[in-house]
Amino acid sequence: MRFPARGLYAITQTAHKSADIIINEVIAAIKGGAVVVQYRDKNPSDAIYLASELLKVCHRANVPLLINDDVELAAKIGADGVHIGKEDGAIAHARARLGEKAIIGVSCYNCVDQAVYAEQQGATYVAFGRFFPSTSKPLAAPAQLETLQQARLRVSVPIVAIGGILPDNGGQLLAAGADLLAVIGGLFESNPEQSARAYQVLF
């Protein structure tokens, strides 16, 4: 499945939620317009079950499912790809394990050089952030709008922005060069379908 060129990128919010709630929230987010879903779960109880169910949900809607930081889980369930940190060699390993068609996204934080390198290594997309204070990643280092502007000039793969993004602040990230907005709290803290629809105006 292809990685979308533009749109809302939903990242699961799993803490203190049952598998059923997480699945239903993802269904609602897709209904509201999310074009890609990432399964992120720092304390999974049954990752294989939940990831497999999310994959079914996503594929019914023709939306790719990516797995955060776990190449083996992605391979096991046949996910569309992974999102990984900046470790050298990680992209090559993920590509070798998941195949030529897999989507591989890479966190580049606030560093355009990392994004250029990631693209050279075969990344499908690059991600920058956090841009605004975030409850999901409160300790993440801040990123600047200028980083998106420079990245736009230096990389040709899609650019994802993340970190505290809301419908009322996401427009400036798109204007600076982001193609997709990755959202956790702003999407899943209340009524995911309605929340997703609120972001659609930006695109």
17 is catalytic: no
* Beta-strand runs (E) in 47-94: 65-68, 81-84
- Which residues 6+ apart lie within 8 Å of 145 measured at CB? 131, 172, 173, 176
Tokens of 66: 């990516």
Q: How far is CA 113 from CA 107, 128, 131, 143, in A?
A: 12, 12, 18, 14
CA distance linking residue 24 with residue 185, whole number of Å: 16
Catalytic option among 107, 134, 136, 195: 107
56 is catalytic: no
| Residue keyed to tokens 């996401």 | 170
Residues 71, 136, 47: CA angle, nearest 5 degrees: 35
Catalytic option among 40, 95, 130, 195: 40
18 is catalytic: no
| Residue keyed to tokens 């309605």 | 194
Catalytic option among 17, 86, 137, 197: 137
Residues 1, 167, 79: CA angle, nearest 5 degrees: 20
Q: Catalogue the active-site residues.
A: 40, 107, 137
